[in-house]
Structure 1
Amino acid sequence: MAEYLSPGVYVEEFESGSKPLEGVSTSTAGFIGLASRGPVEGLPQLITSPADFGRVYGSYLSENAFGSYRYLAYAVNQFFTNGGSRCFIARVAPSDAAAASNSGQPSAVLSVTAKNPGAWGNQLRLVAVPASKAKTPIFEAAEGNRYRVKNASGFYAGDVVVFSNGSEKQYSRIVSVHDQVIELAEALSGEVVDTALVPSKWLSTAEFTLSVSYGSEVETYEKVSLNPEAPNYVEKAAGRSVLANIAVQSVSEGSVSPFEQLAGAGADSYEITLAGGSDGTAANLSAGDFIGEDFGPGKRTGIQAFIDNDVVSIMAIPGVTDPNVQLSLVAHCESLGSRFAILDLPREVTKVQDVLAHRDLFDSSYCALYNPWLQVFDPLDKRNIFIPPSGTIAGVYSRSDSTRGVQKAPANETLRGVVGIDVQYNNGEQDILNPAGVNLIRSFTGQGIRVWGARTCSSNTLWKYINVRRLFIFLESSIKNGSNWVVFEPNTEQLWARVQRTIEAFLTRVWRDGALSGTSPGEAFYINIGRTTMTQDDIDNGRLICVIGVAPVKPAEFVVFRITQRTGSE
C-alpha cells in the first residue's frame, strides 16, 4: 500500500486485465550422436544450419570406423533440408577417445590440450611471435632501482621489461608501479634517461602474440604474458578459446622475456604441435554412453544433457536402435512431458514379424517409430547410402508445424533430398503395421516418397495420433510458461478471474487456428476454476487448481467414399 503524506495528485499504475499467453515453439529438435569434434559434456549446442554443424562438430564420420553410429551429421543435414530451422546437439564419444596435447614435451612452458577429444586435435597449430603492449621513455632515474617514466600505463608488477638504446638490450622485472614511477628488480646500466622530443631509448614490456589455428579457423591472442598478475595473462586471454585449453606449466623467476622462455634465445617464432588425439573406436561404445551420466549442472552427458534444456520439443538419436537407449529416451520425454521422441528401427529389421517384435518394446504416447531407412547422397564417399529416417522425420515435423501448425498430423508429407527407400512395403503389410503403431515411409507413383503414418506407440486409443500428443505438449508447455506470474499472488476470486481470462484468450486463439474442434469456443474447450475445483484445504495449502478440457482435432486417416448405382426410377 502506497503512503500519502503530503497533499497532491498521485498517479499510479496497476494490473487488472489478463496477461497475454504466448505459444511455445514445437519445431526445435534435439539430436544425440557421434561427431568428429565438439563438446561431450555440458549444455547441448545450438545449431542453425549444416554449415554451423560443421564448424562446431566437424564433418561426416567414416563407415569403416563407426558403422551404424556415424549418422548424426547425415540426420542433421536432412533435418535442415526438410524444413528444420534450429536444433541442439549433444555429442557422444567412445570411452577410448582422447584429446590431443603437447604432453610429449615435458619441458614446455605452456601445456596445451585440444578442447575436446578427437583426432581433429592433431591438426591444431599454435604459433607464438614476440610482441610488446606498452613502451615509454625514462625521464628520471631515482634511488633504489626506481625510474620515473613518461607513461606507466600498461606496466604491471611482475612484467618482464626490456630497455633498448638502439644498440643493446637490458632485461629486468617490475617490482612495483606507483603513479609514473616503476621499480625494477635489477638496476639498468648506463645512461637510461631520454627527455628528447623524439626519444631513442625505450623501456618496453615483453610479451608474445599467440595464434591458435585449425584449418581456416584461427584464434589470435595479442600481446599476452606469463605474468599471473597482469590482465593479459595468457591463461585469462585464452580462456575463451573454443579450440584449446592453454595453461602455464612453468615460468622462469629471472628476468627472461616470455617469448624467450617459450622458444629459447635467438628464435623469431615458436610453434607448438599437438599429438595423441583419437576418435576412439566403435567397439568401446555402449548404451551408457548415449544414456549419459548426471554429474551435475554443466557436466551432464548424453540424454541427461538435455535435462538443462527447456527449448527442445523433438528428440532423436539417429541410427542407435539399442532398446536400452531408446527406452531411456522415451522415459526422458515422458518424465519431462514437453518433448516427443522419434525412433528408428534397425536397418536389417524389415520383415513384418521382426518389425512388430521391436515395436512391442514400447508403449508410450511420447514416441513414434518410423521405417524403412532412406537413401540419400553421401558427400563423404560420393555415392548413395541408406540412413535412418529420424533426422528427416524431425525436419518434416518442423516443416509441418511451421506451415500448418502442430495440430496437423506430420504425414502425407514429401521427403526432400531422399532418392529411395530401403524396403517398399505394400498395402497388405501396412494393414498389419499401421494399427500396431509403426509408421511407414512409402513411395507412390507420381507422388514421390511420403510419410504414410501418424501414430504413436501407445496402446491407449486416446493418444494414438502423433498430432494429438504434440498438441497437448504445446498447450501444457504454453500454459505453464505463460502462468509463472500467478505464483505467490493472493489466491482470491480476482486472481481466478484473471487466470481464466488469460487461458480463455489463449485457447480461443488456438481454436481459431484450427487446432481444436467445434463450431464455437464453448464446444472446443472449457475452463473451470474457483470453488468448484478447490476446497478450503487447497486454498489454505497454497494450491490454485484450474481444470481445462479441450477437444483436439483428429486426422482423417481413413477417407471413405461410398458409391452406389442410381437407377432411373429413384
Structure 2
Amino acid sequence: MVANYQHPGIYIREIPNARSIQGASTSVAAFIGTAESGPYKTPALVTSWNAYTRQFGNLTWYGFMSWAVYEFFQEGGTHCYIVRTTDSGQGAVATASIGNITLKAASVGIWGNSLQVCITHGSPGKATGGGSSDQTPIFNLLVVVADSVINPTQAPTDQATLLLIAYVKQNALSKTSINNSSYYVLEAYNGFTVPDASFQTRINTHSMFIRVPTTDTMRPVNTPTPLPFNNGRNPTWDFQGALDTLATVQELSLLAMPDTVGVTDDSGAADTITQSQLANQGLSTCQDLESLFYVIDPPFGLNMSGVLSFKNGTPAPNSSQSGRAINSSYGALYYPWAWIFNPLSNSNVPIPPSGPVLGRYASTDTSMGVWKSPAGVTDGAMRTVTALFAQLTDSDQETLNPNGINALRNLINYGNVIYGARTVSQHRQWTYLSVRRLFIFVEQSLKNGLQWVAFEPNDQTLWAAVTRDIDAFLTVLWGQGALLGAAAQEAFFITCDASNNPPQTRALGQLYIDIGLAPVYPAEFVIIRITQKTAVPDSGS
C-alpha cells in the first residue's frame, strides 16, 4: 500500500513480518469400526479413554476398535477421532432370556452364540458351580462356555471359536462342573438380590462379554443347566462409507480400521481376501487425501507363511485363492497380534496390533518428531502389551523385513517392542515410514501455511516472500534433526523464481515451488566391528 502523507508530522505504519509456517498435526488418529453407541459415520473427537466410553461405550469382546482406542491412550496417544461404521448386512446380537430379563452379547456377531449364562445361589463374593433349585435371596450370574467349545473333537476353523479358545488357554481358566457337565467360567458376578439398576450398571460397565438392556424387581430362578445365547449373526460393515467421511476432518494424520480383522467367510474363518481388499481401500483413501498414514492389522491366527501371503497377494498354503497385494508408501503392516491386560476382568485379551502401535506413533511424534521411527527398545516399547501371539526370531525377521512387514518382538531385558520401521511399499525411495511421514508433514504444513499466496501478484516479490517463509520453516526442521546435512544448504533446496515460473505458466495463474529434501534414514542395521589385538612380542626378548 502506498503511503499518503497529507501533513507534516510523525506517521506510524505497521510492517508485516515474514509469515511463519506452522507444523501440521502428525499424531491425531482416526479409528474406524464398531461401537456400542454413538453417532454413525460422523467423525467425533475424543481426548481420553473416559471420553470414549461416555460416547461410544465400553470394551467389548469382538469389538476390536474399543480395544485399539484403549491401547492408543494407554501407550501415549492424546486425542483421536472415532467413526462408527454402519451395518449394510443382516448382523444381529446374540441374546438369552432368564425369566423377564433379556441378556445380550456385548457386540454383534455369531461369536455370541457360544456363550451361556447361569444363575446360581450363593453368598456375596462366592459363586457356586451348582444350579440348585434351593432359592436363597442372594444369587450369582456366571457367563460360561461349554468344554466342548474349548476342547472340540475336531480342530475348529471359525475365528470366533479360535479366539475364545486362545482366551481360555492364555488365562489358564479352569473347568467347573455344573449339573454334571463341564464349563469354563468367563465371568462371574456375585452377591445380587434383585436384577435392578445396580445389577445392570455393574455388569454393563465391567463385562466384556454381555450386556443387560432391561432390569426386573424379581430374583431370577436358578438355572440347573446354563442357558444358551442364540440368534447372533455376523454384520457387513460399511468401511468405505466411514472412510469417505475422513475428508471432512483437516487435522487427521493416522488411520486404523481394527474391525477389518473381524471379517470372516461363510464358514466363519478369517476372510483374508476381503481383508486385503479393505486394507487397499484404506490405503487408497490415504493416497487420495495425501495426509493420512494407515497402520494395517493382519488377520487373526496367521503364521509366517500366512502373513506373507496376505501382504504379497499370493495364495496361502493349501489354498488356490489370493487377495490383492498390499503395496503403498502410505501404510505399514505389523505382525503378530498382541495380548493386553484388562483390569476390569483381571485377564489378558487378544487384540490386533494397531492400537498400541499408533499409541507409540503419537508418543514418539511428541517426544522426538515425526522423522523419528516409532520403533526400537525405547520409542517402540509397548509397555502395556503383556505378550505376543508369536515369538519371532532373527531369521523370521530376515523374511519379514524385505517384504515390508514390521515385527513385534519380545527382547530379553526390554520386553515387547516394535522392531520394524518400514512401509508396505516396494519402492526403495519409500522403504521407511519415517521418511514418508516426514514428507506428509512437510507437504501438509506448507499447504496450510501458504494459503495466503493464492490470488497474490505472481511476481518477484511473491517469489522472494514464499522462498523466505519456506526457508525459515525448513531451517528449523534441519536444526531439529529432521533433515540430513552439515549445513542447511545441504539439507534442502527451494526454487521459486523465473526459472520455474516462465510467462506461459504465470499466464495460466500457476505458481510453481520446487523443494528438495534430504531426509534422515533410520539406522535399521547397526554394524559392530570387533577386532582382536594380539600383543606383539618384544623384539629384544
Q: State whether TM-score is above 0.5.
A: yes
2:334/2:353 contact within 8 Å kept = yes
The aligned residue for residue 548 of structure 1 is 515
The aligned residue for residue 403 of structure 2 is 436
1:479 shift after superposition = 0.7
The aligned residue for residue 318 of structure 1 is 258
What amino acid does structure 2 have at the position aligned with 1:328? Answer: Q
1:319/1:388 contact within 8 Å kept = no
1:566 shift after superposition = 2.4
Structure 1 residues 291-326: Cα deviation after superposition (integer angstroms, max 9, x where no partner): 11xxxxxxxxx1111110111101001141412221
The aligned residue for residue 332 of structure 1 is 285
Structure 1 residues 450-494: Cα deviation after superposition (integer angstroms, max 9, x where no partner): 000000001111110010000001100001100001111111111
1:84/1:398 contact within 8 Å kept = yes
Describe the SS at the equivalent of 2:50: helix
Out of 234, 238, 254, the residue aligned to residue 283 of structure 1 is: 234
* Whole-angstrom distance in 2 between the partners of 1:18 and 1:3: 20
* Whole-angstrom distance in 2 between the partners of 1:539 and 1:282: 60
Out of 74, 78, 92, the residue aligned to residue 71 of structure 2 is: 78
Structure 1 residues 358-388: Cα deviation after superposition (integer angstroms, max 9, x where no partner): 1112110000000111111235654212100
1:94/1:282 contact within 8 Å kept = no
Describe the SS at the equivalent of 2:296: strand
Gaps in structure 1 of 5+ consecutive residues? 99-116, 119-213, 217-279, 293-301
1:15 shift after superposition = 4.5
Shift in CA distance, 26/49, structure 1 to aligned 2, threshold 3 Å: same
Match status 1:385 vs 2:349 = yes
1:563 shift after superposition = 1.6
The aligned residue for residue 52 of structure 2 is 53
1:319/1:387 contact within 8 Å kept = no
**Higher share in strand:** 1
* Whole-angstrom distance in 1 between the partners of 2:7 and 2:69: 67
**Higher share in helix:** 2
Describe the SS at the equivalent of 1:439: strand
1:345/1:355 contact within 8 Å kept = yes
Shift in CA distance, 385/3, structure 1 to aligned 2, threshold 3 Å: closer
What amino acid does structure 2 have at the position aligned with 1:348? Answer: G
Match status 1:369 vs 2:320 = no
The aligned residue for residue 25 of structure 1 is 25
1:215 shift after superposition = 7.5
Shift in CA distance, 487/215, structure 1 to aligned 2, threshold 3 Å: farther
* Whole-angstrom distance in 1 between the partners of 2:429 and 2:472: 26
TM-score, with length taken from structure 2: 0.66
The aligned residue for residue 268 of structure 2 is none
The aligned residue for residue 372 of structure 2 is 408
1:16 shift after superposition = 5.6
The aligned residue for residue 398 of structure 1 is 362
* Whole-angstrom distance in 2 between the partners of 1:33 and 1:476: 29
* Whole-angstrom distance in 2 between the partners of 1:568 and 1:379: 60
The aligned residue for residue 389 of structure 2 is 422
The aligned residue for residue 492 of structure 1 is 459
Structure 1 residues 40-80: Cα deviation after superposition (integer angstroms, max 9, x where no partner): 033x000110100000101122x3xxx3xx11111111000
* Whole-angstrom distance in 1 between the partners of 2:235 and 2:451: 45
Shift in CA distance, 374/512, structure 1 to aligned 2, threshold 3 Å: same
Out of 435, 440, 449, the residue aligned to residue 468 of structure 1 is: 435
Shift in CA distance, 444/4, structure 1 to aligned 2, threshold 3 Å: closer
The aligned residue for residue 37 of structure 1 is 37
Gaps in structure 2 of 5+ consecutive residues? 93-106, 109-199, 203-230, 262-274, 313-324
Shift in CA distance, 14/545, structure 1 to aligned 2, threshold 3 Å: farther
| Fraction of identical pairs, as percent | 37
* Whole-angstrom distance in 2 between the partners of 1:442 and 1:3: 67
* Whole-angstrom distance in 1 between the partners of 2:348 and 2:384: 11
What amino acid does structure 1 have at the position aligned with 2:358? Answer: A
What amino acid does structure 1 have at the position aligned with 2:256? Answer: A
1:370/1:438 contact within 8 Å kept = yes
Describe the SS at the equivalent of 1:410: coil
The count of corresponding residues between Structure 1 and Structure 2 is: 376
Shift in CA distance, 73/40, structure 1 to aligned 2, threshold 3 Å: same
* Whole-angstrom distance in 2 between the partners of 1:424 and 1:215: 39
Match status 1:477 vs 2:444 = yes
1:532 shift after superposition = 1.4
Describe the SS at the equivalent of 2:258: coil
Name the Cα RMSD after superposition: 2.5
* Whole-angstrom distance in 2 between the partners of 1:4 and 1:82: 60
1:18/1:499 contact within 8 Å kept = no
* Whole-angstrom distance in 2 between the partners of 1:326 and 1:531: 43
1:17/1:498 contact within 8 Å kept = no
1:91 shift after superposition = 0.5
Structure 1 residues 95-154: Cα deviation after superposition (integer angstroms, max 9, x where no partner): 4579xxxxxxxxxxxxxxxxxx99xxxxxxxxxxxxxxxxxxxxxxxxxxxxxxxxxxxx
Describe the SS at the equivalent of 1:326: helix
1:319/1:346 contact within 8 Å kept = no
Shift in CA distance, 303/496, structure 1 to aligned 2, threshold 3 Å: same
What amino acid does structure 1 have at the position aligned with 2:245? Answer: A
1:231-242 alignment, distance < 5 Å: none
1:35/1:93 contact within 8 Å kept = no
Structure 1 residues 475-528: Cα deviation after superposition (integer angstroms, max 9, x where no partner): 000011000011111111111111111000000000000000111001101111
Describe the SS at the equivalent of 1:283: coil
Describe the SS at the equivalent of 2:500: coil
* Whole-angstrom distance in 2 between the partners of 1:523 and 1:532: 21
Out of 307, 315, 320, the residue aligned to residue 355 of structure 1 is: 307
